[in-house]
Structure formats: C-alpha cells, structure tokens
Structure 1
Amino acid sequence: MRRPLRRTSALNVVLLLYWLCCLAPSPVSSIIVTTPPEVHASKGDTVTLSCSFTSTSRPTSRMTVDWSYRPQSGGPPMMFLHFSSRAYPPTEGQFGGRIRWQGTPARGDASISLINATLNDNGTFTCTVRNPPDVHGSTTSHTVLTVTPRVPSIRFSDVAVLLFFILLPSAVITLILIGRMMCPKKERNQSKAHRSPIEVTEGDEYGIPGYTHKEDRAKCCDLYVMDSDEEYYLKDFKKRPPEAEGYADSHC
C-alpha cells in the first residue's frame, strides 16, 4: 500500500515543477529596443533616426518594425512606416517621399532617415520592433526630434572681402590723418615787415621772396607745404655761386 503512495507523490512533484517552469518568464522571450533620447537638426537637413535592438532569437521573416510619430502639440501617434521582410515608406501625408529605410535587421538595426526636415516635424518618433518568439520586454523606444531654423553662416571668402574693401581703406585713411597731425602746415605770416624799395635781401635778388641764408636747410614740414614754384627757385638759387651779404645796388 505504501508503494503507490510514494509513486503518486513523486508524480505530483514532477508535475508541479513542470508547471512552475512553464509559468516562469523565459529569458528567451525578451527583446530590447534602443534609440537616442533627443536629436537636434536644422531646417532642410537630412536627419538619421537611429534604432537598434538586441534579441536572443535570430531575426526571421516574421520580424516587424513600426515607426510612428506624435506631434509636439500633442495628439494620437501616427504610424508612417512598416517593415515586414521589406520596408513600406509613406508615399503621401506629412512624410510622403521623405522617409528612407536605413536599417539592417540581421545586424539589429532598424534606423530610418528623414529628408528635408521642417519645423513641423518637431515631435516624438517611436520605434517598435517585434521578433517572434521575442515579443516581450522593451519592444519600443522614443526619440524627441527638435528642428530649428538654419543660421546663415559666413564663409572665409566673405570675411576676406570685407577685410580688403573696408578695413584696408580705413587703415590707409587713418595713416594719412596721423601723418598730417605729426607734420602740420607752416602758418604763414600775412603781414610782412616794411622794407625800403631798394632794400634787397639775399634770395630776393634771385626771385625767391623771404629766403635768407639761415634757411638753407628746410625742414620736412616746410618741404611739405612748399609750392612747386618755390621749390624750383630754391634749387636754382642753390646752384648759383654765393655772393657777399648786404644790400643790392639800386636800379632806380
């Protein structure tokens, strides 16, 4: 009588362990999908929305990928791409003709590209991957896309043109003004001293008014303000032989 009881107890233990194994979560039936939390782009850029997944089961023809979009203003998510053996990008709507499949499921990649991003594309993009029997776990992941207006950039050639046509003339004008300040024009005395009609000083007899022997060496500033006629007479006077100082004979 005791042997049948022992066999029944052993059978019950085996059945209990079997049911526990069936009810326990299996590590095989889990999948993890990963996407970047945020992506920033400028208006008109081509944006890559990355999506990778890890699965203990080899991807088969039953694996599916779904991409959905939820606007920044809110509202229900809208699925715009489905992958099952091949990709089915949208042909109309907000993303019509602007989505390209970039994924390689055999390598755990389910990424897409968004062409010519606009400010209306701001929102949350969700990647969902199912790979039976791995249908449990973290099958979805979200990415927030932020598109900003493009800032005009200045090229190096534009900067060089600005430096050449603006800064260079300004520097030349500044140097000219500094030169005039360092070498001002000699103020001429309009009131001349009264002299006798027959009194002739050295230099007047050669046609150079106001020239004296003590002014043989002209300064830089004097040459700067000297007229062309005065320069000619000055050179002619230096070529002539010196004469005794004094008064010239009157021709009256």
Structure 2
Amino acid sequence: MNIFELPFPFETPRQIRRPLRDPYGNAHGDSYTPSRTAATMNLATRSTWPGVKVLRNHEALSMQKLRAILHFSFSPYVVDIREEYPLCSRESYLRAKRRGVSVPESERTICNINLTLVLQPDSRLHYHTVSLGNKPGESNMPSSPRDRREHAMSLERGWTWQKVNGDRFTKKEYGNNLLMSRWISQVNIWKHHDAARVLAARVATRSLRGTLSHVLERHARHMGISVDHAFELFAVAVSFGFLYIDHTEYLRVDMPLILRGGFDE
C-alpha cells in the first residue's frame, strides 16, 4: 500500500476507538513509549514535539522524522503515530510471551514510524510501517537488510510496509504543519471534532476575503468563540480532513488563505 495514493477528500470518522494495545502488546495513543528517545541519541537534530493526534511528545530523532511525523499528523487517515516502534517476528513474540518476558533486543528491529490508519469503506483500523530513506528517487521496495527485515515482519503480521524518501515532505508543507501544530499544542483534538466540522463548513462556503486572521476573526464572531479557539478549530479541521490547505503556498496569519480543491470524487 502507498499511503500517498489513498483517495481524497476523506474525513476522519468521529467514532474511532483505538485499542489500548495492539496485538503485539505495544500501547497506543498517550500511553505509547518509543523504543528510543531524543535524550538517548547523540544527534544534533534530535527533538521532541507535542503530538497532534495524541497527547504526548513525539521523539523526532532527525529533522526528516519530524517532517514525516508532522505530515502524518495532518493526514485524516492517520489516527495514531508511533515512532521508533519495535518490530519482531511472531515466533519471537510468542516465545517471549510464554516465558513472561520482553522480546530480547537482539530479536527486535526498530522501525522509524508505525501508523494506525482508518480505511474505507468500513472504517477498519490498519497498521502501516514507514521506513524513511535519504536517497532521492529510491525505490519503494525493500533494498537493505534492515528494510527486508521490517518488510517481512510487517507482512507476517498482516500489516503493510512502505519506504518513504525525505524529499517527499516539502519545506512549505513542513512550515505549514509546524505552524498549525503550535495552535493545538496539548489540545485533545478529538473533543473538538464536531466544532471543527462546523467551522470548516463555514470557511469552505463563505468569503475568504482578507488574511487568514481576518477570515477566522469573522467566523469566531459569528460562532461566539474566541479568535484563539477559532485557530485551534481550524488546525483540527485540517487534521481531520474537513479542510485541505494548499501546501504550494505558505500558510500565514497575515496572508490570504488558499484552500486546496479539485479532488476527483
């Protein structure tokens, strides 16, 4: 599966329930702990960043991973992002489970990102492993020994695997997602699903005259909410697929809002 070929537009369903743990015992959502953290890695580009879909900090061990995490945070298909996720074979997992111990580190491989997706038409949850590459034009097929291990372990679980190159995430998109993520830092966006849909419907059907600030100030006034909350709801709406911004332009509060359209339904 190629996550970038999923059809749009798509809206994240309201009644999505993530399990507490996946079938291999790893926690979901706020309770998940990455296998490696920025504090334990000797990288100048390491960082932690507040989550959008989850109320925990993501561990971005490189700028490339931060760009990917932010991209997937604003994908309506993604309902959970687990970075530095431990993969192992089913045999290793069952053997460790019988013994009541953790899978030995020597039998695990740490993948860059594991995504929990909600897929049409029945809103089923699906796990998708993402391996980040650095070579432009690199094939989506597993090429290195690590790729082949991740690919085999993912397929054995009934999951999918994909190689994604860092140049997939543009500078403008990264900047736009970074800005929106700051508007909803430490906000439980799932509680604002309905309100974000209302704001999105107004934005999509009314004048975009003026700057983004002007647009959201008008809607805040009509909805009886603060301007700050309107900015929160705007970012939530993008994350859930109620609005699609044009990432060929910079998103700025002092510039006009450019929405993306022209989807093939």
Do both proteins adopt the same fold according to a TM-score greater than 0.5, normalized to the shorter chain? Answer: no
Q: Taking structure 2 as the reference length, what is the TM-score of the superposition?
A: 0.19
Query: Per residue, is there more helix in 1 or in 2?
Result: 2
Q: Taking structure 1 as the reference length, what is the TM-score of the superposition?
A: 0.20
